[in-house]
Protein backbone atom coordinates (compact mmCIF):
# COMPACT_ATOMS: atom_id res chain seq x y z
CA UNK A 1 0.00 0.00 0.00
CA UNK A 2 1.45 3.36 -0.98
CA UNK A 3 1.59 6.41 1.21
CA UNK A 4 -0.65 9.31 0.23
CA UNK A 5 0.86 12.23 -1.64
CA UNK A 6 1.98 14.76 1.02
CA UNK A 7 0.15 17.61 -0.71
CA UNK A 8 -3.05 15.56 -0.79
CA UNK A 9 -2.66 14.61 2.88
CA UNK A 10 -2.25 18.28 3.77
CA UNK A 11 -5.33 19.14 1.69
CA UNK A 12 -7.35 16.42 3.42
CA UNK A 13 -6.23 17.41 6.92
CA UNK A 14 -6.76 21.12 6.35
CA UNK A 15 -10.15 20.90 4.66
CA UNK A 16 -11.97 17.79 5.90
CA UNK A 17 -14.20 19.80 8.27
CA UNK A 18 -15.00 22.28 5.50
CA UNK A 19 -16.01 19.46 3.14
CA UNK A 20 -18.05 17.72 5.87
CA UNK A 21 -19.97 20.91 6.74
CA UNK A 22 -20.42 21.86 3.08
CA UNK A 23 -21.98 18.49 2.27
CA UNK A 24 -24.32 18.77 5.27
CA UNK A 25 -25.34 22.29 4.21
CA UNK A 26 -26.03 20.95 0.74
CA UNK A 27 -28.55 18.48 2.17
CA UNK A 28 -26.53 15.29 2.62
CA UNK A 29 -27.84 13.05 5.42
CA UNK A 30 -25.49 12.57 8.35
CA UNK A 31 -25.43 8.82 7.72
CA UNK A 32 -24.11 9.42 4.18
CA UNK A 33 -21.79 12.38 4.64
CA UNK A 34 -18.61 10.39 5.36
CA UNK A 35 -18.99 8.31 2.19
CA UNK A 36 -19.62 11.42 0.12
CA UNK A 37 -16.71 13.28 1.74
CA UNK A 38 -14.52 10.41 0.59
CA UNK A 39 -15.90 10.84 -2.94
CA UNK A 40 -15.08 14.54 -2.79
CA UNK A 41 -11.52 13.85 -1.70
CA UNK A 42 -11.08 11.06 -4.25
CA UNK A 43 -12.12 13.50 -6.97
CA UNK A 44 -9.84 16.17 -5.50
CA UNK A 45 -6.95 13.70 -5.40
CA UNK A 46 -7.45 12.82 -9.06
CA UNK A 47 -7.83 16.47 -10.09
CA UNK A 48 -5.16 17.96 -7.79
CA UNK A 49 -2.48 18.05 -10.52
CA UNK A 50 -4.89 20.10 -12.66
CA UNK A 51 -5.66 22.64 -9.91
CA UNK A 52 -4.01 25.87 -11.06
CA UNK A 53 -4.70 27.99 -7.99
CA UNK A 54 -6.83 30.54 -9.86
CA UNK A 55 -9.41 30.23 -7.08
CA UNK A 56 -9.27 29.44 -3.39
CA UNK A 57 -8.88 25.76 -2.56
CA UNK A 58 -12.15 25.95 -0.63
CA UNK A 59 -13.92 27.34 -3.70
CA UNK A 60 -12.59 24.44 -5.76
CA UNK A 61 -13.56 21.90 -3.08
CA UNK A 62 -17.02 23.43 -2.71
CA UNK A 63 -17.58 23.02 -6.46
CA UNK A 64 -16.71 19.33 -6.09
CA UNK A 65 -19.02 19.08 -3.05
CA UNK A 66 -21.80 20.67 -5.05
CA UNK A 67 -21.51 18.10 -7.85
CA UNK A 68 -21.28 15.17 -5.43
CA UNK A 69 -24.27 16.43 -3.39
CA UNK A 70 -26.27 17.05 -6.56
CA UNK A 71 -25.67 13.46 -7.71
CA UNK A 72 -26.62 12.27 -4.22
CA UNK A 73 -29.91 14.20 -4.21
CA UNK A 74 -30.84 12.67 -7.56
CA UNK A 75 -30.23 9.17 -6.24
CA UNK A 76 -33.11 6.92 -5.20
CA UNK A 77 -31.54 6.55 -1.76
CA UNK A 78 -31.98 10.25 -1.01
CA UNK A 79 -35.51 10.44 -2.37
CA UNK A 80 -36.58 7.71 0.04
CA UNK A 81 -35.42 9.69 3.06
CA UNK A 82 -35.28 13.48 2.85
CA UNK A 83 -33.21 15.04 5.59
CA UNK A 84 -34.72 17.33 8.20
CA UNK A 85 -32.72 16.35 11.29
CA UNK A 86 -30.91 18.95 13.39
CA UNK A 87 -27.52 18.17 11.93
CA UNK A 88 -28.85 18.40 8.39
CA UNK A 89 -27.34 21.75 7.72
CA UNK A 90 -24.83 21.91 10.59
CA UNK A 91 -25.29 25.66 10.51
CA UNK A 92 -23.03 26.22 13.45
CA UNK A 93 -19.84 24.55 12.23
CA UNK A 94 -18.35 21.27 13.38
CA UNK A 95 -20.09 18.44 15.17
CA UNK A 96 -18.54 19.27 18.54
CA UNK A 97 -20.12 22.73 18.48
CA UNK A 98 -23.48 21.25 17.55
CA UNK A 99 -23.45 18.94 20.55
CA UNK A 100 -23.08 21.97 22.79
CA UNK A 101 -26.18 23.66 21.41
CA UNK A 102 -29.22 23.87 23.60
CA UNK A 103 -32.31 21.90 22.63
CA UNK A 104 -33.90 25.12 21.41
CA UNK A 105 -30.91 25.98 19.23
CA UNK A 106 -30.88 22.48 17.77
CA UNK A 107 -34.58 22.82 17.03
CA UNK A 108 -33.89 26.12 15.25
CA UNK A 109 -31.06 24.55 13.27
CA UNK A 110 -33.40 21.70 12.31
CA UNK A 111 -36.06 24.15 11.14
CA UNK A 112 -33.49 26.20 9.20
CA UNK A 113 -32.18 23.05 7.54
CA UNK A 114 -35.68 22.00 6.57
CA UNK A 115 -36.37 25.46 5.11
CA UNK A 116 -33.13 25.41 3.14
CA UNK A 117 -33.95 21.96 1.78
CA UNK A 118 -37.25 23.36 0.43
CA UNK A 119 -35.53 26.08 -1.60
CA UNK A 120 -34.91 25.41 -5.29
CA UNK A 121 -31.33 24.19 -5.71
CA UNK A 122 -30.02 27.32 -7.54
CA UNK A 123 -31.34 29.57 -4.76
CA UNK A 124 -30.15 27.25 -1.99
CA UNK A 125 -26.62 27.14 -3.43
CA UNK A 126 -26.32 30.91 -3.63
CA UNK A 127 -27.84 31.34 -0.15
CA UNK A 128 -25.46 28.79 1.41
CA UNK A 129 -22.41 30.21 -0.34
CA UNK A 130 -23.21 33.82 0.55
CA UNK A 131 -24.78 33.55 4.01
CA UNK A 132 -23.01 30.51 5.45
CA UNK A 133 -19.73 30.26 3.55
CA UNK A 134 -19.45 34.08 3.41
CA UNK A 135 -18.33 34.11 -0.22
CA UNK A 136 -18.58 37.32 -2.24
CA UNK A 137 -21.11 37.71 -5.03
CA UNK A 138 -18.28 37.73 -7.59
CA UNK A 139 -16.76 34.53 -6.16
CA UNK A 140 -20.16 32.83 -6.28
CA UNK A 141 -20.70 33.99 -9.85
CA UNK A 142 -17.29 32.62 -10.86
CA UNK A 143 -17.88 29.32 -9.07
CA UNK A 144 -21.33 28.73 -10.53
CA UNK A 145 -20.63 30.22 -13.96
CA UNK A 146 -23.39 32.83 -13.69
CA UNK A 147 -23.48 36.63 -13.64
CA UNK A 148 -23.29 38.67 -10.44
CA UNK A 149 -26.78 39.95 -11.25
CA UNK A 150 -28.08 36.39 -11.28
CA UNK A 151 -26.37 35.77 -7.93
CA UNK A 152 -28.11 38.84 -6.47
CA UNK A 153 -31.46 37.79 -7.89
CA UNK A 154 -31.20 34.23 -6.55
CA UNK A 155 -30.03 35.49 -3.17
CA UNK A 156 -32.96 37.92 -2.96
CA UNK A 157 -35.44 35.19 -3.88
CA UNK A 158 -33.88 32.77 -1.40
CA UNK A 159 -33.93 35.34 1.41
CA UNK A 160 -37.57 36.18 0.68
CA UNK A 161 -38.59 32.51 0.63
CA UNK A 162 -36.60 31.81 3.80
CA UNK A 163 -38.18 34.79 5.57
CA UNK A 164 -41.71 33.80 4.48
CA UNK A 165 -41.20 30.28 5.79
CA UNK A 166 -39.80 31.55 9.11
CA UNK A 167 -42.87 33.77 9.53
CA UNK A 168 -45.18 30.89 8.61
CA UNK A 169 -43.52 28.62 11.18
CA UNK A 170 -43.69 31.32 13.84
CA UNK A 171 -47.41 31.79 13.23
CA UNK A 172 -47.98 28.03 13.19
CA UNK A 173 -46.26 27.76 16.57
CA UNK A 174 -48.44 30.56 17.85
CA UNK A 175 -45.51 32.77 18.74
CA UNK A 176 -45.87 35.35 16.03
CA UNK A 177 -42.16 36.03 16.60
CA UNK A 178 -39.42 35.84 14.02
CA UNK A 179 -37.25 33.97 16.51
CA UNK A 180 -39.05 30.71 15.72
CA UNK A 181 -36.04 29.83 13.59
Quick: pLDDT tens for 83-131: 444 444 444 444 444 444 566 666 777 777 778 888 888 898 899 889 8
In percent, the amount of the chain with pLDDT more than 90 equals 29
User: pLDDT higher for 3 or 23?
Assistant: 23
How far apart are the C-alpha atoms of 81 and 36, rounded to whole Å?
16
How far apart are the C-alpha atoms of 137 and 148, rounded to whole Å?
6
How far apart are the C-alpha atoms of 109 and 86, rounded to whole Å?
6
Q: Under a CB-based contact definition with an 8 Å cutoff, are residues 39 and 68 in contact? A: yes
Q: Is the pLDDT of residue 161 over 70?
A: yes
User: pLDDT higher for 75 or 89?
Assistant: 75
Confidence at residue 102, expressed as pLDDT on a 0 to 100 scale: 62
Quick: pLDDT tens for 32-44: 999 999 999 999 9
Q: Is the pLDDT of residue 6 over 70?
A: no
Q: Is the pLDDT of residue 174 over 90?
A: no
How far apart are the C-alpha atoms of 43 and 48, rounded to whole Å?
8
Q: Which of 104, 110, 66, 72 is nearest to 88 (CA)?
A: 110
Lowest mean pLDDT among 5-9, 25-29, 131-135, 172-176: 172-176
Confidence at residue 59, expressed as pLDDT on a 0 to 100 scale: 86
Domain covering 119-181, topology: Arc Repressor Mutant, subunit A (1.10.10)
Domain with CATH 1.10.10.10 in the chain: 119-181
Q: Give the helix/strand (H/E) hosting 142.
A: helix 137-144
Q: Is domain 1-101 in CATH 1.10.1740.10, yes or no? A: yes
Q: Which of 53, 164, 177, 59 is nearest to 118 (CA)?
A: 164
Domain with CATH 1.10.1740.10 in the chain: 1-101
Q: How open is the CA angle 176-166-94, to the nearest 5 degrees?
A: 125
Amino acid sequence: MSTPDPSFRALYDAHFNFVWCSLRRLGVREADVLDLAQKVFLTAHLKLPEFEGRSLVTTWLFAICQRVASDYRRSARFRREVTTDAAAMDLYGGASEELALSAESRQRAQAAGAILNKLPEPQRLVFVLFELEEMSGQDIADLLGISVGTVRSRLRLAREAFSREVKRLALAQGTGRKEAV
